[in-house]
């Protein structure tokens, strides 16, 4: 099925010229993308890089012929091995999908059919395009499973997607994409939903298979680390326009455009930053040997106990930022939710203000709640969409007995602190972007004048440039109010930028803790070392503006 036969080594597998795709009337701009031109050569990986809304996925879907209705290519051409794809009938595209081009999606759980076994799903691709008998087909499926390094192919052949881990599911999706050895592989953020160590494995796998088959890869990502890891060529997009294009080293070390440079500057780096020394003070909160056990099943005899958190201890002092890092399922969010008393710990003690709060209920928790606020991960779901921003912000103070007028004027001040106009108070969350919403969430948390903030993956859902703004904002707030921050993240680079101390968690346990310099630059535990090694692009020195490494200089903004 070597499709490269027809074209010489220098002929691009995919060639996009002056592509423009229009948005339906009423969109935020006329074209989703315009004037896009790039080539993907066999054996090369081209990364489409851009922030959310830049049109990267639109291009990928246009190539696959999977544009949602309403989006129409209006100009330009997309040629796959010399064949024009724009305007090609669906039947023809269907023949090309699989043998000539294939796609790996972001979320493997939704890309796979939950009620069909993994082996069958891979086999479906074969039976659509190739005639072969059952035994040969099964053999081919087991072969590709071995090639994507799935353990125990026989067992996984008969497994359903939910029985596999996220990384294994993504390997199945890759196996489906590659079983017919397509000339072009499109990967749409294939590692965004995965943990760092899994991400490193999947990137390595894509690299390996791509070299074996001489496949051309169009790789879509927002993560500069991933680009540094995997790309040969980079295409940078901003709001549907092609900003810059070139060799990886060229773009990442000597960017010619200010936008690229701005993005590169915003990429968090695993590095030691000087933080102001902390004043000696009693901890705001200390949790000792907190455990959380979930029981599944309703009958006493058939119950299984899941230890989400085992004897974790943590304390936070004023003006201190303590980071909790770990992969998904490591118990970091459970620890945060126990400390915030959104759930009750099974055992252990949490002390705040000289009072044990671990097992208080209802109204007894009020004084504690006032001192501790949470910023959640998903800015789209952490604000009530049916409430105006203002009423969300004053909800806390009013619960704590602040008169309405006073709460409202304080809300206006807070809008200034988070750099939004006071008029924003009368609007609804749907009118704001992700970064703006996260700032509103921060304002809501600050309205209660807490002594401790828990930021649960507060910047994970945001673009790098917005992420950098939010981190800068948090630091400034900390400087102004001496608030202690418990910062939960899976991104070690972000943790190294903002934290004084870090706690590394694995499977509900704290495996290592200490200052940033100790944990990240002289790790004692194997697991920490593995996490650090998996961080994408850590060996790559990005171009940065000269003043980046220095402590940020804050403007004289209004005092809180």
Between β-strands 216-221 and 372-375, what pairing exists: parallel, antiparallel or unpaired? unpaired
Q: Counting Cβ atoms within 10 Å, is residue 139 exposed (0-12), middle (13-18) or buried (19+)?
A: exposed
Buried b (16+ CB within 10 A) or exposed e, 462-497: bbbebbbbbbebbbbbbeebbbbbbbbbbbbbbbbb
Taken as a whole, the chain contains a residue count of: 560
Pick between residue 224 and residue 527 the one whose CB is nearest to another protein. 224
Pick between residue 85 and residue 316 the one whose CB is nearest to another protein. 316
Pick between residue 131 and residue 386 the one whose CB is nearest to another protein. 386
d(CA 492, CA 490): 6
Q: Counting Cβ atoms within 10 Å, is residue 292 exposed (0-12), middle (13-18) or buried (19+)?
A: buried
Q: Give 172-200 as a 3 state SS string.
A: HHHHHHHCCCCCEEEEECCCCCCCHHHHH
Pick between residue 191 and residue 436 the one whose CB is nearest to another protein. 436
Pick between residue 205 and residue 468 the one whose CB is nearest to another protein. 468
Pick between residue 139 and residue 430 the one whose CB is nearest to another protein. 430
DSSP string, 468-517: HHHHHHHHHHHHHH--EEEEEES-HHHHHHH-SEEEEEETTEEEEEEEHH
> Cα 213 from chain centroid?
29
- Residue 59, classed as helix, strand or coil, is helix
Pick between residue 88 and residue 473 the one whose CB is nearest to another protein. 473
Shortest distance, position 66 Cβ to another protein, whole Å: 16
Pick between residue 64 and residue 477 the one whose CB is nearest to another protein. 477
Shortest distance, position 329 Cβ to another protein, whole Å: 18
Pick between residue 217 and residue 372 the one whose CB is nearest to another protein. 372
Shortest distance, position 376 Cβ to another protein, whole Å: 4
d(CA 351, CA 314): 11
Shortest distance, position 65 Cβ to another protein, whole Å: 20
Pick between residue 337 and residue 501 the one whose CB is nearest to another protein. 337
Token pair in block for residue 400: 């704590």
Shortest distance, position 408 Cβ to another protein, whole Å: 16
Shortest distance, position 442 Cβ to another protein, whole Å: 12
Shortest distance, position 547 Cβ to another protein, whole Å: 5
Q: Which of 461, 323, 436 is nearest to 383 (CA)?
A: 436
Shortest distance, position 270 Cβ to another protein, whole Å: 12
Shortest distance, position 169 Cβ to another protein, whole Å: 23
d(CA 295, CA 307): 9
d(CA 387, CA 157): 48
Any idea which residue has 């199945």 for tokens? 172
Shortest distance, position 369 Cβ to another protein, whole Å: 4
Between β-strands 355-356 and 14-22, what pairing exists: parallel, antiparallel or unpaired? unpaired
Contacting residues toward another protein, per CB under 8 A: 70, 262, 265-266, 268-269, 340, 342, 365-366, 369-370, 372-374, 376-378, 381-384, 386-387, 392, 395-396, 399-400, 416, 419-421, 423-424, 427-428, 430-432, 436, 441, 444, 448, 465, 468-469, 471-473, 497, 545, 547-548, 552-555, 557
């Amino acid at each position: 099925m070597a499709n490269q036969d027809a074209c010489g080594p220098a002929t691009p597998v995919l060639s996009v010229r002056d592509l423009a795709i229009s948005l339906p009337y009423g969109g935020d701009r006329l074209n989703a993308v315009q004037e896009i031109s790039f080539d993907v050569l066999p054996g090369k990986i081209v990364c489409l890089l851009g922030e959310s809304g830049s049109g990267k996925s639109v291009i990928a879907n246009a190539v696959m012929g999977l544009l949602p209705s309403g989006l129409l290519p209006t100009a330009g051409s997309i040629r796959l091995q010399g064949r024009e794809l724009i305007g090609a009938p669906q039947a023809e595209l269907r023949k090309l999908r699989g043998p000539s081009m294939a796609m790996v999606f972001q979320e493997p759980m939704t890309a796979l059919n939950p009620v069909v076994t993994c082996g069958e799903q891979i086999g479906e691709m074969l039976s659509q395009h190739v005639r072969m008998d059952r035994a040969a087909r099964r053999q081919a499926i087991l072969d590709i499973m071995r090639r994507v390094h799935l353990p125990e192919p026989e067992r996984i052949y008969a497994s359903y997607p939910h029985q596999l881990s996220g990384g294994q599911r993504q390997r199945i999706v890759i196996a489906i994409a590659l079983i017919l050895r397509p000339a072009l592989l499109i990967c749409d953020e294939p590692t965004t939903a995965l943990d760092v160590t899994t991400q490193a494995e999947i990137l390595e796998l894509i690299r390996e298979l791509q070299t074996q088959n001489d496949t051309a890869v169009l790789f879509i990502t927002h993560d500069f680390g991933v680009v540094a890891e995997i790309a040969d060529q980079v295409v940078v997009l901003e709001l549907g326009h092609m900003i810059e294009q070139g060799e990886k080293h060229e773009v990442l070390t000597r960017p010619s455009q200010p936008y690229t440079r701005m993005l590169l500057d915003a990429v968090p780096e695993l590095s030691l930053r000087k933080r102001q020394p902390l004043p000696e003070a009693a901890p705001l909160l200390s949790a000792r040997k907190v455990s959380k056990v979930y029981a599944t099943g309703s009958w006493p005899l058939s119950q299984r106990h899941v230890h989400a958190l085992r004897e974790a201890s943590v304390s936070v002092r004023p003006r201190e930022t303590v980071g909790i890092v770990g992969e998904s399922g490591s118990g970091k969010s459970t620890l945060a939710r126990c400390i915030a008393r959104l759930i009750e710990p099974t055992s252990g003690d949490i002390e705040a203000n000289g009072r044990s709060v671990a097992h208080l209920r209802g109204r007894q928790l009020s004084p504690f709640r006032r001192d501790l606020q949470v910023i959640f991960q998903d800015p789209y779901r952490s604000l009530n969409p049916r409430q105006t921003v203002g009423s969300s912000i004053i909800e806390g103070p009013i619960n704590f007995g602040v008169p309405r007028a006073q709460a409202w004027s304080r809300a206006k001040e807070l809008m200034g602190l988070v750099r939004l106009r006071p008029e924003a108070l009368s609007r609804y969350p749907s009118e704001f972007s992700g970064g703006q919403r996260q700032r509103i969430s921060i304002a809501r948390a600050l309205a209660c004048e807490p002594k401790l903030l828990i930021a649960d993956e507060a910047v994970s859902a945001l673009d790098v440039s917005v992420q950098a703004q939010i981190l800068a904002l948090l630091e400034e707030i900390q400087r102004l109010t001496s608030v202690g921050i418990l910062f939960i993240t899976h991104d070690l680079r972000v943790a190294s930028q903002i934290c004084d101390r870090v706690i590394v968690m694995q499977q509900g346990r704290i495996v290592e803790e200490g200052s940033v310099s100790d944990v990240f630059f002289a790790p004692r535990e194997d697991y920490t070392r593995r996490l650090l090694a998996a961080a994408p692009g850590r060996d790559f020195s990005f171009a940065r503006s000269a003043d980046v490494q220095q402590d940020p200089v804050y403007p004289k903004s209004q005092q809180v």
